[in-house]
Structure 1
Amino acid sequence: MKKKTRFAFNAYLQQLARLNSVEVEELSSKFTVEPSVQQTLEDQIQQSAAFLTLINITPVTEQSGQLLGLGVGSTIAGTTDTTTKEREPTDPTLMEDVEYKCEQTNFDTVLTYAKLDLWAKFQDFQVRIRNAIVKRQALDRIMIGFNGVKRAKTSNRAENPLLQDVNKGWLQKIREDAPDHVMGSTTTGGETTPGAVKVGKGGEYANLDAVVMDAVNELIDVVYQDDDDLVVICGRELLSDKYFPLANKEQENSEKLAADMIISQKRMGGLQAVRAPFFPPNALLITRLDNLSIYWQEDTRRRSVIDNPKRDRIENFESVNEAYVVEDYRCAALVENIQIGDFSAAAAEAGA
C-alpha cells in the first residue's frame, strides 16, 4: 500500500471508529455497529438497488416473531342484529399464524492494496470503500430473495452461484408455506418437484397474458384480486419473450408507434410488469411490492476490519441477522417452469 493510500485509509478507519464509538485498535476485533450507524447503513443498502426501494426493509427487535403484515388484511364492514347479540369488531391487521426467523448472513469482502491505491487519488476515497461494500450487499439480498431455497451451515458459492444455500427467499417461502398459490411445481417436505406451464400454440395457455389472468383468478385471494397495487415481477427473458416479436419486424410508422407504446407500458394480463434482477428466467410472481419484506434484527450487525499484509489486502468481515418475508400469502401467486413454444404437434399426438 502506498504512503498516500495508507494516510487516506487511516483517515477512513478513524472515521469508522468515531461513528461506532470504539477505538481504532478495536476495529480489527469484532465490534457491534452502533444502532444509528446500522440504520444509516441499511438505508444506504436499500437506496443502492432500485428494486429494494420498492419493497420493505424493516428492523425488528426479536430474532423471531409474528409477521408485521400488509396493514389491512381483511374486510371490516358488516351488520349485526343487536337485539340478539353484541357487535363484534374485526381486527383488519390480523394475520394467519405465520412467524419469521432472522438468520445470520455474512457479508465478507476484500479490497486489495492495488484497488485502494487506485482510489486514493480521488476525493471520495471513503465513499468509494463504502459503496463497494454496500452495493454488493444490496444485490446479494435480491439474489437470495429470489433464489434462496435453504440455509446451509456453510454455504458453497461454487455449487450455488445464485446464493441458493444462504437463506430461504421469498419464492421458497411461498412454495413451502403456501403451495396452493403456486403453479408449475409441487413442494412437499421442503423438496420441490418441477412441473410445466406450457404457453403457446397447443399449450395450456395461448400467451403470457392468459397465464397472469388465470393466476390472479385462481391463486390470488378474492380480497386482493382487484387490488390496484398488484404487479407481475419477472426477469428480462420473460419480458423479451412477450415483447420481442413486436419489436423484431418491419412495421409502418403508425404500427411501430403503437408497438412502442405497448412495449413501454410493459404490462402482462393487465398488470404492470416489474423487471427484477436475478429473478428466475422462466417464472413470474404476482403480488404487491409491499408484500415482500426483508427483516433485519437490531443490534446484530457485527463488523471487523483487518489489514492483512500477508495477502496485500484489507478484509472486511460483516454480518447481520435477517429474514426474507412474504407478509400475506393470500396476495401472492407464483408461476414457474414456464415453457414457451409450439406444442400443437404433441397435443395432436395426445388427442389421436
Structure 2
Amino acid sequence: MKAHAIPEMAKQFHQLFTRGADYFSSNRKGDFTISDPAENSLQIAMLESGWMMGNITLRDIDRPSGQAIEIGDNSLHTGRELSGRFKKKLFVNGTSFELVETDSCASLSYEQLGQLANINGFDKFVALISDFFGRAVSLDMLRVGFNGEYAGLPTNPIENPKGEDINTGWHAIAREFNKGSQVIIEKFSLGEGGDYPHLDALANQLIKDKIPEAFREDPRLVVLVGAELAAHERLRLFNAADRSLSDTAAAQLLTSSVAGRFAFVPPFMPGKRLAITTLENLHIYTQKGSRRFRAEFVDDAGEYQHAYLRNEGYALGNGFLYAAADENAVTLL
C-alpha cells in the first residue's frame, strides 16, 4: 500500500466511526462530550465486557467528593410499639470518596489502522475497536479497584502496572475504614499445621468476626479468592482426595464454594488476598457531565487515538460489609 493512502483510509474510517454524529456534541476538534445515547452505548459495551462488571455498582453522581450511601441494611425493619407507629432509622455506613481525573486511551498507527481495515473492512473494524476499548476500560476499572493505593500525578504504568497510582481502590479504602477493623494485616499462616488449616476456616473466621450479623446469611455474599490461594486450596483438595474420578470431580467443584458461599477468582486481584463482600457493595462513581470521548487522527504522531476522559472514584457502599485478609499477611504452608 502506498504511504499516502493510509491517512486517506484513516479519514474514511473516521467518517464511518462518527456517522452517529448525533451522539456527540462537539467542543473542539477531536474532543466530544458524550450525550445520552452514546454514553449509554459505551456503558453497555463496558457492562457486556464481563460478568463481574455487570454486578458491581456503577453510579453517576453530581459531586466530586462525599460519602457513599447505600440505603438501609439487612437488619430487622418490622415491629410494633405500645403507642404510635413502629420506626426504624436507616443506617449509612458508606465510605468517603473523591473523584479524580481519569484518562483511558488506545492508539493505532496509520499503518496498523490501514492493515486492519483492509483485513476486516471498515464496519467490522469499527465494532472491533469499540468492543476492545469497552473491555479495556472495564478491566482497567477492576484492576484499579483491586490494586489502587492512591491517586498519583503523573501516573507511572511502568512502575505501577496494576494501576496502583491511578486511584484508591476498594481494598485500600477498607484498610483505612473504621481504624482498619475490616482487614487482617497481622501475619498468619494458611495450610496444614498453620493458624488456619484451609480457606474455609479463614473465610468463616472473617465472616464471624467482621461481617455484621444481619448480612452473614445474605445470599449475595461472595468470597473473592486470589489466584494463588485458589491454586493452593485446589492442590490441598486433590491431595486429600482419593484418585477416583468421582473424588477428583468433587475436589474441583469444592473450589467454587468457600465457607458455603459462592467463590470465584476476580481478574487482577492479588494472588494471596481473600475478601468477602457482596458485589453490589463495590462502587465506582463517575461525575455527571465529566465524560469526554475523543476519536482523533493525530497526523503529527501518525496514529489514531481512541480515548475516554472522566472524573472517577471508588467507594464501599457499606464499609462493614467488606472483610478481607491482606495478601501481605498470608504465609502459605
Give the TM-score range, shorter chain.
0.7 to 0.9
The Cα shift of 1:69 comes to 0.7
Q: Which amino acid aligns with 1:11?
A: Q
The Cα shift of 1:101 comes to 2.5
Q: Which moved more, 1:38-47 or 1:285-294?
A: 38-47
- Asked if residue 264 in structure 1 is aligned to residue 253 in structure 2, the reply is yes
Contact in 1 for aligned 2:290/2:310 (Cα 8 Å): yes
- Residues in 1 aligned to 2:46 and 2:311: alpha-carbon distance in whole angstroms: 15
Q: Which runs of 4+ in 1 moved over 6 A?
A: none
1:181-192, aligned counterparts within 5 Å? 181-183=182-184, 185=185
- Asked if residue 327 in structure 1 is aligned to residue 325 in structure 2, the reply is no
Q: Select the residue among 272, 287, 290 that pairs with 1:282.
A: 272
The Cα shift of 1:60 comes to 1.9
- Asked if residue 236 in structure 1 is aligned to residue 227 in structure 2, the reply is yes
C-alpha distance 132-267 of structure 1, shift in aligned 2 (>3 A): same
Q: Select the residue among 302, 309, 314 that pairs with 1:312.
A: 302
1:42-53, aligned counterparts within 5 Å? 42-53=43-54
C-alpha distance 21-311 of structure 1, shift in aligned 2 (>3 A): closer
- Asked if residue 134 in structure 1 is aligned to residue 134 in structure 2, the reply is yes
Aligned to 2:10: 6
Alpha-carbon displacement from aligned partner over 1:14-64 (angstroms, at most 9, x marks no partner): 3253320449xx442x33221331232122112112321121212223323
> What secondary structure is seen at the aligned counterpart in 2 of 1:105?
strand
Q: Which moved more, 1:307-316 or 1:233-242?
A: 307-316
Alpha-carbon displacement from aligned partner over 1:71-130 (angstroms, at most 9, x marks no partner): 535422334232xxx4451144x3137433322211122122232123213241211121
- Residues in 1 aligned to 2:139 and 2:71: alpha-carbon distance in whole angstroms: 24
> What secondary structure is seen at the aligned counterpart in 2 of 1:286?
strand
Q: What 5-or-longer segments of structure 2 have no aligned partner?
A: none
C-alpha distance 261-54 of structure 1, shift in aligned 2 (>3 A): farther
- Residues in 2 aligned to 1:215 and 1:258: alpha-carbon distance in whole angstroms: 28
Alpha-carbon displacement from aligned partner over 1:194-244 (angstroms, at most 9, x marks no partner): x32211233211111110111110111111112122111122221111012
- Residues in 1 aligned to 2:295 and 2:307: alpha-carbon distance in whole angstroms: 6
- Residues in 1 aligned to 2:311 and 2:7: alpha-carbon distance in whole angstroms: 37
> What secondary structure is seen at the aligned counterpart in 2 of 1:41?
helix
1:113-152, aligned counterparts within 5 Å? 113-121=110-118, 122=120, 123-152=123-152
Aligned to 2:181: 180
Contact in 1 for aligned 2:227/2:270 (Cα 8 Å): no
Contact in 1 for aligned 2:110/2:302 (Cα 8 Å): yes
Percent sequence identity is 24
Contact in 1 for aligned 2:222/2:276 (Cα 8 Å): yes
Aligned to 2:218: 227
1:56-71, aligned counterparts within 5 Å? 56-69=57-70, 71=72
Q: Output the aligned Cα RMSD.
A: 2.4
C-alpha distance 212-260 of structure 1, shift in aligned 2 (>3 A): same
- Residues in 1 aligned to 2:240 and 2:176: alpha-carbon distance in whole angstroms: 43
- Residues in 2 aligned to 1:329 and 1:6: alpha-carbon distance in whole angstroms: 48
Q: Which amino acid aligns with 1:218?
A: D
C-alpha distance 201-244 of structure 1, shift in aligned 2 (>3 A): closer
